[in-house]
């Protein structure tokens, strides 16, 4: 067991866990933030996407020890005050069907757009979202929402 401390959704915390415990299970079981979902357990589907120092990462394959003295952000904290532009676009375009993958999709899109240093093309946006899977197949709605958020954030060519 290790004492691992990190910033979680804006608050400094410490957890006792084996260092190789996936961050996903610490988030869900220890911290009770259940918006981050378990999908494949192999980092392939994106349902477990969170931000580590502002970058999208797959929490199901990220050992919690790698988060020591880092900043972790989940869907519960994204746009806490007024809603992130991606979240607003998601609502406007009625993206979710079953909703299971949506927190991972939103976190991936938010990281993609927040970290874009120059405006992106629609093709680049689609490529940036291509590793997140949606079993319901709402990719056209996801694309429309990401494009709208990019426009609203001044990140679309």
| The predicted structure's pLDDT at residue 119 | 96
Predicted confidence band of residue 82 (pLDDT cuts 50, 70, 90): confident
- Contacts of 7 by beta carbon, 8 Å cutoff, 6+ apart: 13, 70, 71, 72
Buried (b) or exposed (e) across 112-135, using 16+ Cβ within 10 A? bbbebeeebeeebbeebbeebbbe
Q: 2-75 has which CATH code?
A: 3.10.20.30
Mean pLDDT in residue range 75-102 = 91
What are the domain boundaries of the chain? 2-75, 85-153
* Pairing assessment for the beta strands 49-52 and 2-8 based on DSSP bridges: unpaired
Report the candidate in 71, 62, 145 with the shortest Cα–Cα distance to residue 105.
Answer: 145
| The predicted structure's pLDDT at residue 80 | 78
Does the domain spanning 85-153 belong to CATH 3.30.300.30?
no
Percent of the chain with pLDDT over 90: 93
Rounded distance, CA 110 to CA 145, Å?
11
| The predicted structure's pLDDT at residue 91 | 94
């Amino acid at each position: 067991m290790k004492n691992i401390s990190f910033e979680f959704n804006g608050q400094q915390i410490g957890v006792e866990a084996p260092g190789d415990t996936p961050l996903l299970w610490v988030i869900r079981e220890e911290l009770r933030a259940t918006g981050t979902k378990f999908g494949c357990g192999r980092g392939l589907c994106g349902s477990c996407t969170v931000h580590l120092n502002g970058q999208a990462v797959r929490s199901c394959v990220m050992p919690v020890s790698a988060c020591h003295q880092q900043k972790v952000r989940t869907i519960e904290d994204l746009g806490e005050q007024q809603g992130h532009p991606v979240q607003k676009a998601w609502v406007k375009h009625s993206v979710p069907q079953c909703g299971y993958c949506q927190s991972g999709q939103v976190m991936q899109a938010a990281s993609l757009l927040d970290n874009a240093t120059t405006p992106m093309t629609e093709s680049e946006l689609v490529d940036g979202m291509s590793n997140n899977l949606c079993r319901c197949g709402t990719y056209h709605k996801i694309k429309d929402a990401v494009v709208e958020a990019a426009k609203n954030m001044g990140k679309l060519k």
